[in-house]
Amino acid sequence: MDESSQRVAVVVGGASGIGAAIATAFTTDGWRTVVADLPSTGAAPVDVTDEDSVAALLDGVLAEHGRIDTVVNSAGVSTLGNVVDLAADEWRRVVDVCLTGAFLVLKHAGQRLAEGGSVISLSSLNARQPGAGLAPYCAAKAGLSMLTQVAALELGPRGIRVNAIAPGLVVTPLTQPAMEIPGIEDDYLENTPLGRSGRPDEIAAAALYLATAEWVTGEVLDINGGAHLMRYPDLNKHVLAAFG
């Protein structure tokens, strides 16, 4: 394939977990794929909380490849703590990565994308389903869903599509620590009609679909085995049972 006509994808937060699966899916589909993550991962370095870092990453991709067709933002962090006990710095840390970071990626991707390009953000089941102890994560992901819709309105006239994927339980390095607490995974699965957790490659397939779905924008695609139809697990109960 002529490189000048080969589509280019940038996967932010693509060094592990769902992001890595997305990067693999794009590469397998024939895209030139740039994986970006924190410098310690060995990927193209980016800090989504630093606007200059995000801009430099995308400018570098443009300089090397001449175009950007899709930007996927899968960077994320979480924490566990009740609202009345949570340190403000911990709130800011989660919101800065999950919401402000997503805004910065969207802002600079929107300035540089080729016509007909797309931005895909990784939201969460927690965008619509509250979880005790997850206030900053839930708030950030709910905000990201609305940000996705606003950006879709604004960028639509340029032919740029903006969508998000909201996974349920997918066991990754981000979720693994919680899954090691007795009772939490079972509680998730009891509240998932299809009775199992998701796989990173299933989320990756959705990202590839959204990157090429030319009449889809402003969508927050729930992929959670039906978990949004039930209740969110009581994480605090299981943490208290395990640690007192």
pLDDT digits (tens, 9 = 90+) for 122-168: 999 999 999 999 999 999 999 999 999 999 999 999 999 999 999 99
State the Cα–Cα distance between residues 185 and 164, nearest whole angstrom: 25
Of 62-66, 152-156, 164-168, 180-184, give the lowest mean pLDDT range.
180-184
Can you give the residue ranges of every domain in the chain? 3-171+198-229
* Closest C-alpha among 63, 61, 161 to residue 110: 161
User: Averaged over 181-186, what is the pLDDT?
Assistant: 93
Residue 69 reports pLDDT greater than 70: yes
Q: Output the pLDDT for position 85.
A: 96
- CA-nearest of 97, 228, 71 to 151 is 71
Grouping H, G, I as helix, E, B as strand and the rest as coil, residue 26 is helix
What gap in Å lies between CA 158 and CA 164, rounded to an integer? 19
Q: With contact defined as beta carbons under 8 Å apart, do 130 and 186 qualify? A: no
Q: Which residues pair with 12 in a beta bridge?
A: 36, 73
Taking residue 87's Cβ as centre, other Cβ atoms within 10 Å add up to 10
Name the 3-class secondary structure at 9.
strand
- Its pTM stands at 0.95
**Residue 177 binned pLDDT confidence (cut-offs 50, 70, 90):** confident
Q: Which residue numbers are catalytic?
A: 137
pLDDT at residue 5 greater than cutoff 90: no
pLDDT surpasses 80 at 2 = no
Structure tokens at 18: 């769902």
Res 171: pLDDT:
87
pLDDT band at 4 (very low <50, low <70, confident <90, very high): low
Burial of 230 (0-12, 13-18, 19+ CB in 10 A): middle
pLDDT tier at 175 (50, 70, 90 boundaries)? confident
Can you give the pLDDT at residue 176?
86
**Number of alpha helices (DSSP H) and beta strands (DSSP E) in the chain:** 9, 7
* CA gap 190, 58 in Å, rounded: 42
Task: Report in angstroms the alpha-carbon separations of 21 from 56, 83, 166, 228, 233.
Answer: 24, 33, 15, 23, 26
Architecture of domain 3-171+198-229: 3-Layer(aba) Sandwich (3.40)
